[in-house]
Structure 1
Amino acid sequence: MLAVVQTLAVIAALVHVYIFSLESLRFTDPKVHAAAFQVSEYDLEAVRPWAFNQGFYNLFLAIGTLVGVILVRPVEAAGWALIVMGCGSMLMAAVVLVATDRRFVRAAAAQGTIPALTLLAALTQL
């Protein structure tokens, strides 16, 4: 079952690397800022620094989770702490997103489902 936790955690991290690319690298693309984030061309320059910062937040969560996946077998306590903290933060960010604006329910589901499954699978191992 630990392999399932590790696999789900890697998938959750990869989703957040993808979100990083949208928010920090591709945000000025109209398909990204307008379609995915519902930010108008008029508001783009004001919102872009926030999106850039948020993208790196998602990247750091992904990196921490991946380090946890690597460490969970040789340094069990540290690995579990990183996986639970990373996926827990991903899940709670998704909850905050949908609680703030119901229009983002699809994005919140994409952001939070795999971390939630990871945490559920982790409960069988702790």
Structure 2
Amino acid sequence: MHIAAQILIALVCLIHVYIFLLETVLFESRGVKVFGIPKAEVAMRKPAMSNQGCYNGFLAAALLLGLVYPDPAIAKAFATYGLACVAVAGIWGAVTVMVRILYIQTVPAVLGLAALYLL
């Protein structure tokens, strides 16, 4: 796997570890600030955000396996799956939540896919 692909996969993985932490462990402190959630809605949104964070953790795990799995073909499959899921989720987030998600999630994931398959 080309070094540019590895760097981009690692970057997307770290972004999703951070999102996982914001939506689960750090939701009531840092997460509500980052996501701009009004104080009146924190308790109501906490379970859904934790569930969403869990999915972001799974994406990070797939990307991590893409970086460390010893069989290159399987590693590439994990990386492809993780990056494709992140790209699609980012598009959906941009449409349903805020456009900024497109730049935070989809752009790095698509760049990772390009590096994975074009370099």
- Counterparts of residues 65-104 of structure 1 (less than 5 Å): 65-71=63-69, 74-101=70-97, 104=98
- Give structure 1 stretches of 5+ with no counterpart: none
The residue number in structure 2 matching 1:14 is: 14
The residue number in structure 2 matching 1:108 is: 102
CA deviation after TM superposition for structure 1 residue 76, in Å: 2.0
- After TM superposition, where is structure 1 displaced by more than 3 Å over at least 4 residues in a row? none
CA deviation after TM superposition for structure 1 residue 115, in Å: 1.1
Matched, 1:32 2:31: yes
TM-score computed with the length of structure 1 as normaliser: 0.85
CA deviation after TM superposition for structure 1 residue 75, in Å: 1.1
Residue identity opposite 2:46 in structure 1? R
Residue identity opposite 2:31 in structure 1? V
The residue number in structure 2 matching 1:50 is: 48
CA deviation after TM superposition for structure 1 residue 81, in Å: 0.8
CA gap 1:108/1:25 in 2 versus in 1, 3 angstroms: farther
Q: Distance in 1 between matches of 2:26 and 2:87?
A: 23
Percentage identity across paired residues of the two chains: 30
CA deviation after TM superposition for structure 1 residue 114, in Å: 1.4
CA deviation after TM superposition for structure 1 residue 118, in Å: 0.3
Residue identity opposite 2:61 in structure 1? I
Segment drifting more, 110-119 vs 36-45: 36-45
TM-score computed with the length of structure 2 as normaliser: 0.90
The residue number in structure 1 matching 2:111 is: 117
Q: Distance in 2 between matches of 1:46 and 1:94?
A: 24
Q: Distance in 1 between matches of 2:39 and 2:102?
A: 23
Task: Spell out, residue by residue over 1:91-117, the C-alpha distance to the aligned partner (whole angstroms, 9 max, x if none).
Answer: 11110001113xx22233112221111
